[in-house]
Structure 1
Amino acid sequence: MATYTVVDNKIKIDFHGIKPDATVRGKMKAVKIWWDPDRKIWHGPKNSDTVAVANEICGGTVSVSSTVTPVRRYARIEPAKDYALKIKIKDIIAADKAQLDSWEKELRDYVNEIMGEDNASHDGDPVSKSQESVWINCFKFIASTLNGLDSEKQEFELIFEYSLPGTVHERPDILLVTDKKAISLEFKQKCAPQVDDNKDDVAQAIRYKEWLENHHKVTREKALEVKSYLVCTHKAAVSGSLRGIQILTKSDFLDAIDSELEGQLACSFIDAWLSSMKTEMPDMLQAIEIMYRDGKIPYISDVNEKCLKKVLAYIEDAKTNHKKILILINGVPGAGKTAVGQSVVFEENQGGAANAVYLSGNGPLVEVLQYQINQVGHSEYMGENAIQGMKEFKSGYFSSPTRQNTKVPEQSILIFDEAQRAWDEEKLKRGYSEPEGLFDVGERIYNERNYAVLIGLYGNGQVIYDGEETGLSLWRDALLRHRDWCVIASDELSSELPGLGSRLIEDNDVFLPISLRADFIDCSKWVEQAINRNGSTPQGAKDELAELQKTSMRICVTRDMSKVHTRAREMDVDHPEWKYGMLISNFAEQSVVRRVLPGWNIGWNGANVVTKGEYGPWFAGNCKLLSKACTVYGNQGLELDCPIVLFGGGYIRRRGQWVARGYPYDRQKNKFQDPERIVENNFRVLLTRARKEMILLIPEDPVLDETYQYFIAMGMDELYIQATK
């Protein structure tokens, strides 16, 4: 017999290995109870509908957990630690194999824990054997070379795998910190540093030095001298210097460390140094302020002033009256939610303050915005002061299943971009959801400063990842646990936040109804009619397209890439400032894409897909090369003057209906609760990226014939007709 449980406002139904019949499955899906193939259970949000269905199926009731703020239980209560090991030099020299193995395990456990989010996305791969051998080699190298230090210098401690604040993956192998110095030692089992396109060891050493100098708060406050060395441990390694970084080997490592420690004292503030925050660098914040004011950052000036002023008023009220508030800002695609969030950062950080931070789990968006700021400000780090990746923020301030984090960020206002994509408990793998984690940080902020503000920028219909489909209910669940927080939301969102009573303040000024992306032309109504599987009609799409065609927004369709190149050349002449580029769904089929782009590789890290590290330059102009396509994962929240949306066969018209299909879809669909909605959302994002013009590129593949005819029947111009007008 099936049984169910309710924990933390989530309901789970277990059929104990027996597949429920179609009628039962239909009842569960109707109330958004979905199958989880990994845990072999059905699950969904706890509400009156899901409980009623669970009772009907399971024939009983079950006690539910309280809605008051829960006490999170940890396997072992420990404060969050930002390093793996802190060991005296003398202890490494004296260590036997058992001790080395014990240290190696502590290093492995620490790195696996802080890399948990990445491990989860790569099937939980543990630390590699090669990494373990690097650690053991490092211990042995130190023991064999530093035994020549005098006994006083052997009392200094070495810090292993310290996580630089504000980063996820930046961890110098070893740090040596004294009262006056912070020394980074990066070990390589090589004859010489690698300095090619695949890996630049010297750049890594320079980056650690610059990060400590620019971003490590205690280092800056104490005016520590920062040094960085590369240590090549291969017996054939040769000492030297490259781009200002000294390369040490077995022949001179002892002399270098002995010299660095001469006249130094043990660091009296080591605990404060190890738990240091990332500093926001007031001089950089002032430079960013100037760039915002002068409109040097593209599209940031496109702000709904009414919404911005209302948000700033709520922030001031929180400061004055010591409140905890969540503000949810939503609106049509292109209405400027990002711009409002960025403007709050500007307004609240004036004069070099560090009072607000913009957080985004959208890595490409973070990369592009940071790149734009760095290019304007001629600084490699300026953008990181205004824009931070959510992954880095979680690493610094979220608790883990075994360690409770007590750190408080410098900022009191946390702006969370794309709040609709917040991760649920299963995706986050920390025992709670992303909204709950943000509220926990907010509680710490309030306890220290007597006010806290969370701002969620919420885009409807733009969920594209697994683990993000629960949506607004995650925020409601967190609010139910944190009963002294109030929430400001528009009528559209407030209807999805039942049970909050007087804590819910409805304010339609935080809804952005007009698209700023396309000169105040809102194409979202056409998009909804054109690609929505439910509640739309071909006639509705035709009518909305007719309205768009009365504006300056140009949308056309073609099956011929040569015509796209022709139009690109025209834009280069008529509008040289325009950015255009290829956009593609995450469910596109390579065989279909090759019908119009022969030889293209759009697979994982394929040669014709924009990947990490390329988004900034691509959106800045490389997009116009038309040599790579940017997937939905890379273009959500971003825009082009003329996107070329490539239909790759993953979403097609079949017998008058939209259908999700193809190998990529079949391979990925079990990750999602409603996979067809995810594919639909792909195209909702793709078709709302345009500022001036849009081209639909539909390959000459039979599977897309009906799709092409659908847009032609809608009244859409073919590209060659429009281009020659």
Structure 2
Amino acid sequence: MAARRYYYSDSITDFLSRSINEIVGVLTLASQHEVNEETSKSWVEEIETMREVLGPYEGRGSVYFEYNIPRMGRRVDVIAVIDGIVFVLEYKTAERKFSREALVQVWDYAIDLKNFQEGSLERILIPILVVPAEKGSRCQMALKHFGDDVYEPLQVNTKRLAEAIEMVLGAVHYDVAPTQTDDQWAKSGYSPTPTIIEAAIALYEENTVEDITKHGGDIDKASVELCRIIDHCRANNRKAICFITGVPGAGKTLIGLNTAIDQFNRGEKAVYLSGNFPLVEVLQEALTRDYVRRDKKRAKDEGRKACTKAEAKSKVKAFIQMIHHYRDLYLEGTEVKGKKIVPIEGYFQSHTDKAYIPVEHVAIFDEAQRAWTKEELQRFMREKKGIRNFPYSEPEYLISCMDRQTNWGLVVCLVGNGQAINKGEAGLTEWIESVHRSYPGWDVYMSDYLIESKDISAEELSLIGKQLIPKEDLHLKMSMRSFRSEKVSIFVNQLLALQKDEAAATLKELEKYPIYLTRNLDAAKQWLRDHARGSERMGLLASSKAERLKAIGINVRYQPNFVHWFLEDDTDIRSSNCLEDTLTEFKVQGLEIDWACVTWDADLRLREDWSAWQHFQLRSGTKWQRINKEINKEYQINAYRVLLTRARQGMVIVVPNGDDSVPPDETRKPEWYDGIYDYLKSVGIREL
């Protein structure tokens, strides 16, 4: 069930007439958690303060307590709407000083409402941090805002709160009054597009997909369809494989996480598996930190010792794992059917032994098209495990693990396209052929889109014709990565396909998604700093082959700790927000930031007539070597596709000037960079 929008609301006039006990009673009844003495005391202090502050504004607005922000998994302490202006107040009654963390928190609330709540699009929002015990001399009352009418947070104590509100109402006015009433504003549609980290945390806190994502979209339909398939397999003792497809950023990973976490919260067994090491590590760490944070609060209320970080991580790893760890866990139970292989350590016929049957009945494989070919898995097993002639591809082996279940099981394949960046990837074909070869009794669910696409041939589909069960809702058509524009991925695809006119036309539709171009890295960094607010994340990105960016201070060979890069705030020098460390396509795929600087090197350059890309990698530190293999060219294009689609809110592209000194640096010829810059400019990307 979706969480209530707020615990208490009233017109200012009626709020002032009610007793404190009556209001606290309403708040207590509405709370979804046990209310302790500390919470009650805070509510009383907030109510008393707001009664004093709102006295002059009877008949001019409304007030709301504990207003829900589902994407963040938190509630705003108080929202006051006066003359249509939305005051977002965060109280820190137990603190004695303003803190950066609290400032970011209240700013995030206001930004979230502006970006994702329909009624806030035309509103002015004023975030205010209230620390009752803070000194008056430390209060900050300057009015500053960005173009979207979200002001920087004011910082006040209770004595200066009334002064702050009066100042705002005297200085800030609507050119055109909002068309919605306060109640219509408060109940207006909420359509967030969380980052995958935010989504995972919100789901783990037992929010629903409906709470934290756009309503009525592809994700809702696909999630419901997947639940039906799980229930059908369980009820009928069926084994099946289900393919969920979608455009980049459509939310496939979110569906996978939601399913794994939802099953976990119900006491069922499901596991989300990914070969994307950075994604798994970042998600595990983020969820672990969140669990520790929440358990500390619960432990304090319950009078017990809080769990350790190691204990929390163990819980998280129960439903989010690296696919390689899962694969190795069940290696000893591998059965080799009809294969003439000399028995060696690692192969056992006792695969039905309970020790070798997966504990989960649902295994969700993210980026399933990246599972390894038979040749690649053989190489890995030989070099890393000492096992020769391993008989399976990764798809067939992973299906075999679930096939050990004695009753039912479901393999869910989340399938992306146009994103291959590594060798040895088997693609979708191997999953289909594996089912045909070895698992004729399994059901196969997929969307009509996949049936009609070029990812599977008609001949391959005919192999599983009797097993195939089409389900239209298993394909996600709409990207949700950028809430400012859903056409960013289309633009990037056209840009990289050298479809100049089409890219230029699409770019004109990206009004709310700024893209800029510059030759100056420092200017690009300043642009990011000027745009990032609250806890919004910005960062530097570059291709793994962009080795001559070292000349301008970007060393792609040094790869920082990506967990710190994604999770720390800008008080930590390891954070992406400090704009000191750069990540490549291998560390950011599947993850995202708000504002990106993509720095373009001569590894991907253009022919003079812009008719084709030229692909290079640096060799021996003295010259670029041409890349000739078509598959490696594809990897390189996809690397830039990944980099150019990481930003949710906007990006700046840096193309260096190259080196025109005497003698020149032969690895940084200006004409290479000029060609890239001129092409990007010709598409219509604005210069800083």
Shorter-chain-normalised TM-score: which range?
0.5 to 0.7
2:540 is the counterpart of 1:540: no
Structure 1, 363-372 or 610-619: larger mean CA deviation: 610-619
Structure 1 residue 596 displacement after superposition: 3.0
Give 1:410's aligned residue: 359
Question: CA 1:699–1:292 in structure 2 vs 1: closer, same or farther (change >3 Å)?
Answer: farther
1:699 corresponds to which of 632, 653, 656: 656
Q: Scaled by the length of structure 1, what TM-score is found? A: 0.53
2:578 is the counterpart of 1:663: no
2:481 is the counterpart of 1:517: yes
CA distance in 2, matches of 1:649, 1:633: 19
Structure 1 residue 524 displacement after superposition: 1.5
Instruction: In structure 2, give the amino acid aligned to 1:314.
Output: I
What's the CA shift string for 1:647-696, capped at 9, x where partnerless?
A: 122211222122211326978968x7611111111112111112111111
Instruction: In structure 2, give the amino acid aligned to 1:602.
Output: V
Q: Percent identity?
A: 29
Question: CA 1:628–1:618 in structure 2 vs 1: closer, same or farther (change >3 Å)?
Answer: farther
2:318 corresponds to which of 385, 388, 393: 385
Matches within 5 A, 1:92-491: 291-293=205-207, 304-351=219-266, 353-378=267-292, 379-380=309-310, 381=313, 382-398=315-331, 402-404=345-347, 406=351, 407-429=356-378, 430-445=390-405, 447=406, 450-468=407-425, 470-481=426-437, 482-491=439-448
Contact 1:514 1:522 in 2 (8 A): no
Contact 1:557 1:696 in 2 (8 A): yes
CA distance in 1, matches of 2:331, 2:478: 36
1:649 corresponds to which of 598, 602, 605: 602
Contact 2:282 2:563 in 1 (8 A): no
Q: Scaled by the length of structure 2, what TM-score is found? A: 0.56
CA distance in 2, matches of 1:435, 1:619: 39
Question: CA 1:324–1:679 in structure 2 vs 1: closer, same or farther (change >3 Å)?
Answer: same
1:528 corresponds to which of 490, 493, 514: 493
CA distance in 1, matches of 2:395, 2:626: 26
Question: CA 1:424–1:614 in structure 2 vs 1: closer, same or farther (change >3 Å)?
Answer: farther
Contact 2:421 2:639 in 1 (8 A): yes
Structure 1 residue 490 displacement after superposition: 2.1
What's the CA shift string for 1:138-161, capped at 9, x where partnerless?
A: xxxxxxxxxxxxxxxxxxxxxxxx
What's the CA shift string for 1:239-280, capped at 9, x where partnerless?
A: xxxxxxxxxxxxxxxxxxxxxxxxxxxxxxxxxxxxxxxxxx
CA distance in 2, matches of 1:369, 1:389: 11
Instruction: In structure 2, give the amino acid aligned to 1:662.
Output: Q
CA distance in 2, matches of 1:681, 1:662: 15
Matches within 5 A, 1:547-566: 547-549=509-511, 552-566=512-526
Give 2:461's aligned residue: 498
State the Cα RMSD in Å. Answer: 2.9
Structure 1 residue 568 displacement after superposition: 2.6
Give 2:679's aligned residue: 710
What's the CA shift string for 1:524-583, capped at 9, x where partnerless?
A: 211111002xxx52111111212223xx111111111121222133124xx222101011
Question: CA 1:298–1:578 in structure 2 vs 1: closer, same or farther (change >3 Å)?
Answer: farther
The alignment partner of 1:662 has SS state of strand
Contact 2:218 2:473 in 1 (8 A): no
Structure 1 residue 372 displacement after superposition: 1.0
CA distance in 1, matches of 2:567, 2:587: 13
The alignment partner of 2:282 has SS state of helix
Instruction: In structure 2, give the amino acid aligned to 1:543.
Output: A
Structure 1 residue 332 displacement after superposition: 1.2
Contact 1:527 1:687 in 2 (8 A): yes
Structure 1 residue 506 displacement after superposition: 2.4
Question: CA 1:475–1:659 in structure 2 vs 1: closer, same or farther (change >3 Å)?
Answer: same
1:581 corresponds to which of 523, 528, 539: 539
What's the CA shift string for 1:453-485, capped at 9, x where partnerless?
A: 0011111011111101x3111111211121111
Matches within 5 A, 1:566-645: 566-572=526-532, 575-588=533-546, 590-591=547-548, 593-597=549-553, 600-603=554-557, 606=558, 609-611=559-561, 614=564, 617=567, 622-645=575-598
CA distance in 2, matches of 1:287, 1:569: 26
Question: CA 1:331–1:374 in structure 2 vs 1: closer, same or farther (change >3 Å)?
Answer: same
Question: CA 1:624–1:617 in structure 2 vs 1: closer, same or farther (change >3 Å)?
Answer: same
Give 1:6's aligned residue: none
CA distance in 2, matches of 1:587, 1:338: 27
CA distance in 2, matches of 1:612, 1:393: 22
Contact 1:367 1:615 in 2 (8 A): no
- List runs of 5+ in structure 2 lacking aligned partners: 1-199, 293-308, 335-343, 379-389, 659-669
Give 2:641's aligned residue: 684
Question: CA 1:428–1:288 in structure 2 vs 1: closer, same or farther (change >3 Å)?
Answer: farther
CA distance in 2, matches of 1:636, 1:297: 25
Contact 2:209 2:220 in 1 (8 A): no
The alignment partner of 2:235 has SS state of helix
What's the CA shift string for 1:140-194, capped at 9, x where partnerless?
A: xxxxxxxxxxxxxxxxxxxxxxxxxxxxxxxxxxxxxxxxxxxxxxxxxxxxxxx
Contact 1:354 1:410 in 2 (8 A): no
Instruction: In structure 2, give the amino acid aligned to 1:471.
Output: G
What's the CA shift string for 1:386-406, capped at 9, x where partnerless?
A: 210112111101357742263
Question: CA 1:528–1:444 in structure 2 vs 1: closer, same or farther (change >3 Å)?
Answer: same
What's the CA shift string for 1:77-112, capped at 9, x where partnerless?
A: xxxxxxxxxxxxxxxxxxxxxxxxxxxxxxxxxxxx
CA distance in 2, matches of 1:651, 1:570: 29
Instruction: In structure 2, give the amino acid aligned to 1:418.
Output: E
Structure 1 residue 492 displacement after superposition: 3.1
